[in-house]
Amino acid sequence: MNRGAVVALLSFLFYFTTILGGEAPQPVETLVPPAEQASYEVLGQAAQIALDAVTVRSAPSAQAEALGVIKKDTPRVLILDKQDGWYRIRPSSGPTGWVPEHAVAITHTAPKLLDQIVLGFYEPGGAAYETLLEHSDKLTAVAPLGWSLDSYGGLNAGFDPQEMGRSLYFAGNQELLTFAHVQLNHNPAPMLQSPALQRNAISRLGQIVEEWGVNGLILHLAYTPSAEQAELFAFAAALRQELAARGGRLLLSLPFKDGLDYGAAAQAGDYLVLRSAPELTEPGPSAAQPELDRMLAEVTQAVQAGKIILALPTSGLDWPRAGQARVLSHAEVMELAAAQGAKIRWDSASLTPYFQYGNGREVWFENRYSLKQKLELVSKYKLAGTALVNLGQEDPAVWESAAALLRS
């Protein structure tokens, strides 16, 4: 028997045993969280200066460059990091930097500014973590990316455990709700046809809540098969029940797509995170405001508006004349436009900025003005809130305009 025939036979047996309820081979388990570190426990805590005055330094060392001096009466100090007996702090006035541990007294966590859900999706580490440090007071929840579920219910984790642990400790100390983001990118039919695989997947997903100390999961449904919708949402409902038993909640992230039963989805999850971004194949807006408006008008006929969180992209897409686009942060978009001498234009139909450069390339992106137009839909439809996708890639000016709008 040739190699192709052997592979085909094994594939058939693998799928057949799955249908009968057998266990498919599982990926290597990667759910073990990092060991708890004392340095994480203070991240995000509010504090005050315990001495009359203290010198802020550029590194955790008495020999490091002095950045300035802050005094005892500084009204608000936020702890960003801890290392070798030093705290990295951000005072309400004065330089951000390092001070000796004995110069700081932890007080309490700063109160939240917003009373609606403002959820931030992020990849642990890098620019996203810096954004979390800078704007945590304008968020009510965060969702670190890193987990995925395959067609057979196998759970995979692809992230740096240290970065994940650090960001979750910081968010928790800032009294932010935390949700592990789990992507389902593949056809789930094999899992949905096997009660045993479903039970295994639900058990593994439930473990995330306890092992990482999160408040629940966001199940990102990138693949929503028409034929198995009822089975998919029944699986989600069972997962929601499992999470509830562990003190967690389930948020279902869904695209706007004809034929999706949003009413059934809303019954299966605590909230729906509704995203418009289609799989673009040509230049254009990722989230046109009129399309979002139409989407919400339709979905709110079937789902209570207070259960809907509107997901908004914050990055840009640089399109070649032919082929796939590359993702750019807002800062990268601005740098590219300046380097190319490109004129930024405003598309009045989608309420989105864009520019053209080079040999037929186009860049479509989001800025403070386009996102403000979209955020107004949260108020118009009285939604539960919004989700900003990919923290660290946004126009920095978005934060204050978003906070002002959502407090109104």
Classify residue 147: in a domain, yes or no. no
Q: Output the pLDDT for position 72.
A: 86
First vs last C-alpha separation in the chain:
71
Owning domain of residue 42: 38-106
What is the number of alpha carbons within 13 Å of residue 89 lying toward its C-beta?
A: 34
Q: Output the pLDDT for position 10.
A: 33
Classify residue 393: in a domain, yes or no. no
Does the pLDDT value for residue 109 go beyond 70? no
- Are the beta carbons of 206 and 242 closer than 8 angstroms? yes
User: The whole model's pTM is what?
Assistant: 0.78
Number of domains forming the structure of the chain? 1
Give the DSSP H or E segment for 385: strand 385-389
Classify residue 42: in a domain, yes or no. yes
Task: Give the residue with greater pLDDT, 278 vs 70.
Answer: 70
Classify residue 70: in a domain, yes or no. yes
Does the pLDDT value for residue 299 go beyond 50? yes
Classify residue 244: in a domain, yes or no. no
Provide the strand spans (E) within 72-215.
77-83, 86-91, 97-100, 104-106, 117-122, 141-149, 155-157, 177-184
DSSP secondary-structure letter at 306?
G
pLDDT tens, position by position, 200-222? 999 999 999 989 989 999 999 98
What is the token pair recorded at 66? 């002095």
Does the pLDDT value for residue 15 go beyond 70? no
Classify residue 50: in a domain, yes or no. yes
Classify residue 350: in a domain, yes or no. no
| Euclidean distance between CA atoms 155 and 147, whole angstroms | 7
User: Taking residues 260-289, what's their average pLDDT?
Assistant: 89
CATH for 82: 2.30.30.40
Residue 275 main-chain phi, psi, to 5 deg = -120, 145
CA–centroid distance for 104 within its chain: 32
Classify residue 188: in a domain, yes or no. no
